[in-house]
Amino acid sequence: MTSLFSRRGFLGGGCALCAATLAGCQTTGEALGRLAPGARPVAGGDVASLWESADREERRVRQSRHIIRTPEVTSYISGLVEQLAGPYAKDIRVYIVRTPEFNAGMYPNGMMQVWTGLMLRCANEAQLAAVLGHEIGHYIEQHTVANFRSIRSATDIATFVGMGLAVAAGPGAAVLAQLAIIAAAFSFSRDQEREADAIGLDLIARNGYAPLAAAQVWERMIAERAAEERDRARGEDIFFATHPSSAERAQTLTALAGGRTGEFHTDRYRQALGGLQLTLVEDELRLRRFRRSEWLFERLHADGANPGLMLFARAEVNRLRDFPGDQTRAAEFYRQATAQPGTPPEAWRGLGLIERKRDRQADASAAFRRYLDLKPDAGDRDLIRSYL
């Protein structure tokens, strides 16, 4: 089943700050220099197929069911991009893609994708702005176009391979080879990432944000990955050992920030996300990456983000994982969550499930009743009622 449905999307690994992909083997295109604002680069010519693919992808994305269309959220994000992109604002269109991964991507035709997993992970507006600025940097320096060109000219081997495959496996293979070239155009070199980092940092600083936010996004991502790998490496932080470039990048960004200060806009960020935050939390929980999720929610909770929701999230991680001690911790977090504003009714459901498992029937029933009161149309109401 997996294999049938896991065709990689056009964006594939995406770009943003993607540590793992930095490990060499990309072809760096010769720098093309800055794009002029408003200039729609020559359609046709040697990059024609890149444009066609990007435009086709954008038509698909525009119709997609996986795009967040909440007007308050979309206008907020578009507003941020507009402010950061300045003279390029009119050339960039932003789409919020509901995917629980830390990513954003910039297509050469001006389509920007912001994934919801990135929005969940940013602690404030400044951090998100740093990533958006980085993506704008790739766009105005035309990195994708440069890479595409160099791949094409360096290897018409790709075409050759494509033809060979086409003979062996039918016409679909040629399309796949073409897609592979395009995907490779999105693998940025270390120099290109550095350039985009510098532009991003410059853009946020010019717009009054704290420049340090750029390094912070990166440090958080490193810490989250490290949390996932901690056990595997028996206590050693193997993420740092295997991804020196990530740590180096965070250091460079910190140095670039210098002592400059600015705004983080933490409250404004959380307010703008509003009800979407619950969706982002639920999508993260679905992945059952317990160590990463646990680290993330603990961190967001410590940041002061929406305590009712974060306590609920931490409880859910413990309940779903169900390792020794997790039930007790889950019950404790649920109890704290239900005493806070901003907690979803599902906190009562979770508490009921835990107490039922711990043979505390009265507590379980009370929690389930509260859940059904708060969410009378819940999808599991009939079965929950059978527990009362």
Q: Please list every residue from 105 through 164 that binds another protein, using CB under 8 A.
A: none
Q: Is 99 helix (H, G, I), strand (E, B) or coil?
A: coil
- Which lies closer to another protein via its Cβ, residue 207 or residue 279? 279
Position 375 contacts another protein (CB under 8 A): no
Contact 124, 265 (CB under 8 A): yes
Query: Per CB under 8 A, does 167 bind another protein?
Result: no
Judge residue 63's burial from the number of C-beta atoms within 10 Å of its C-beta, 0-12 exposed, 13-18 middle, 19 or more buried: exposed
Minimum distance from residue 176 beta carbon to another protein (Å): 12
State the nearest-atom distance from the C-beta of 284 to another protein, in Å. 10
Cα(377)–Cα(208) distance, integer angstroms: 46
Report, in Å, the least distance between residue 256 CB and another protein.
33
Closer of 73 and 136 to Zn ion (Cβ): 136
Contact with another protein (CB under 8 A): which of 161, 238, 320, 374? 320
Q: Is 326 in the site for another protein (CB under 8 A)?
A: no
Question: Beta strand 93-97 with 104-106: parallel, antiparallel or unpaired?
Answer: unpaired
Binding site for Zn ion (CB under 5 A): 15, 193, 196
366 binds another protein (CB under 8 A): no
Q: Is 223 exposed, middle or buried (0-12, 13-18, 19+ CB in 10 A)?
A: middle
HSE-up (13 A, CA, CB side) for residue 230:
13
Nearest approach, Cβ of 172 to another protein (angstroms)?
8
- Strands of the sheet with 93-97, listed across from one edge: 93-97, 111-115, 104-106
* The entry of Zn ion, another protein, none that residue 45 binds, CB within 5 to 8 Å by partner kind: none
Structure tokens at 336: 């704290």
Chain contacts with another protein (rule: CB under 8 A) = 1-7, 9, 60, 63-66, 98-101, 170, 172, 228, 231-232, 279, 282-283, 286-291, 320, 322, 349, 353, 356-357, 379-380, 382-384, 386-387
